[in-house]
Amino acid sequence: MKPPPGTRVAILGLRDTGYLSALCLHEKGYHVFASDLADTSEVRRNMARLEEQGIQAECGTHSFERILNADWILISPGIPPGAKICQALRSSGKPIFSEIEVASWFSVARTVVAVTGSCGKTTTATLLARIVEASGRKCVLCGNIGNPWIGELPRITPETVVVLEVSSFQLMHCASFAPTVGLLLNLHPNHMDWHADAAEYAAAKLNLFRWMKEPNVMICQRRDEHDFFPHFKTAARRVYSDERSASNPNEAALLCAVDALGYPVSLVGQAIADFRGIEHRLETFAEQDGISFVNDSKATTTASLAWALEKSHDGTVVLVCGGKNKTGVEDFRTLRAVITRKVRCAILIGCARPIIKEAWQGAVEMLEAESLEAACCMSLEKARKGDTVLLSPACASFDMFKNYQERGRSFKELMRKKLQAANVGK
């Protein structure tokens, strides 16, 4: 798709995505107005920077009339569909696009690989980028992983392979974006506080493939197709990763992607062997008195928590869990068996405490903590030699923290200080 007609653009959101989008579109000659309902130090700082470039911006309010006067809207992924401004935009019929869609209009890269799914996106995208680099190609890893695609456009050439991590929030406002290879790793109920229902969530994910053409490749699991999208149509060639022999589902998806890109499959095994993990995803950051301490703050879904418990810990777990809930009590009930088997004590934090407590009642000892620091203290009291103290929230961070990164770093900092103090006191 070419950019729509009209040069007046309203950008909603003034954190990284909105800020970088405003700069990019301003440089391309658009008349940009950026708006953010929040009034934080980060937002004010970005607003000041835009104004220094001659870009009009506001924070702490949305000037509805001015926003609705734009020819089209770029919406940041942090703006919920239920927000008043979103309702006004839908009523107005104004075209609304995500940063992923807009970046795709201006990117010159001939090869784009996009990864989505309910869990495993970041690790899989990171491994894919390393495989591309190992093949001798220049690669840019961006998207939901932390650095918006639109901000990376200046260093992308036609020969660059772009590897994107993309979320349902970004995909639901795409209207033509079609990667060369798209991976849907898995589908589990997620973001039900955001999407109307599981069908809408799945439909947003499927936007990754909706506008693909031959010879684009769609990689998914046949069981997900059966359960969630049996009648979905795309012109792309469909490849089923769960029909591929591999040690785990994400490795199977990687093998399919490498095949589609024409790289040697041996690069997959080497990349996995060399991989030392990423921050906030099953990150072992300390060991003391026979107890391991693991930061899995990136785990914002029950599926991610289940995977962490099943795959990563041989001993008993003292679990720190909770935050801003994205699903319902039934989703947490699906974890009762693994919780009973693996967890010594669950320490609950954040707004989701009542829901988790109801779901796991009788399955495990549960304690409630008013803060992450209190949870750290409780976990140290409960942990024994051979245990793992695991932060794997299965929830979003926004009730207590700016993002999962801040939550994870706070956990590490608090725990390290307490471990140091305990060691000094011996």
237: in domain: yes
Domain that holds residue 76: 8-94
pTM, 2 dp: 0.82
The pLDDT, as a whole number, for residue 195 is 56
Say how far apart CA 171 and CA 402 lie, in whole Å.
22
Query: How do residues 29-64 score in pLDDT, each as one tens digit?
Result: 999 999 999 999 999 999 999 999 999 999 999 999
If residue 115 lies in a helix (H) or strand (E), which one and from where to where?
A: strand 111-116
Say how far apart CA 312 and CA 308 lie, in whole Å.
6
- What residues contact residue 409 under an 8 Å CB cut-off, 6+ apart? none
CATH (domain of 12): 3.40.50.720
- What residues contact residue 417 under an 8 Å CB cut-off, 6+ apart? none
**Residuewise pLDDT in 10s, the chain (426 residues):** 789 989 999 999 999 999 999 999 999 999 999 999 999 999 999 999 999 999 999 999 999 999 999 999 999 988 888 889 988 998 999 999 999 999 999 999 999 999 999 888 999 999 999 999 999 999 999 999 989 999 999 999 999 999 999 998 899 999 999 999 999 999 876 554 555 577 888 899 999 999 999 999 999 999 999 999 999 999 999 999 999 999 889 999 999 999 999 999 999 999 999 988 888 988 999 999 999 999 999 888 888 898 889 866 567 999 999 999 877 788 899 899 999 999 999 999 999 999 999 999 999 999 999 999 999 999 999 999 999 999 999 998 988 998 899 999 999 999 999 999 887 655
Say how far apart CA 141 and CA 161 lie, in whole Å.
9
User: How many domains, the chain?
Assistant: 3
Note if the bond before 4 is cis, omega within 30 degrees.
no
The pLDDT, as a whole number, for residue 398 is 84
Which of 274, 306, 330 is a domain's end point? 274
3: in domain: no
Query: How do residues 179-197 score in pLDDT, each as one tens digit?
Result: 999 999 998 765 545 555 7
Q: What percent of the chain has pLDDT over 90?
A: 78
Do 188 and 215 lie in one domain? The reply is yes
**CB neighbour class for 142 (10 Å; exposed up to 12, middle 13-18, buried from 19):** buried
The pLDDT, as a whole number, for residue 422 is 82
- What residues contact residue 136 under an 8 Å CB cut-off, 6+ apart? none
Do 301 and 234 lie in one domain? The reply is no
- What residues contact residue 424 under an 8 Å CB cut-off, 6+ apart? none
1: in domain: no
Do 258 and 165 lie in one domain? The reply is yes
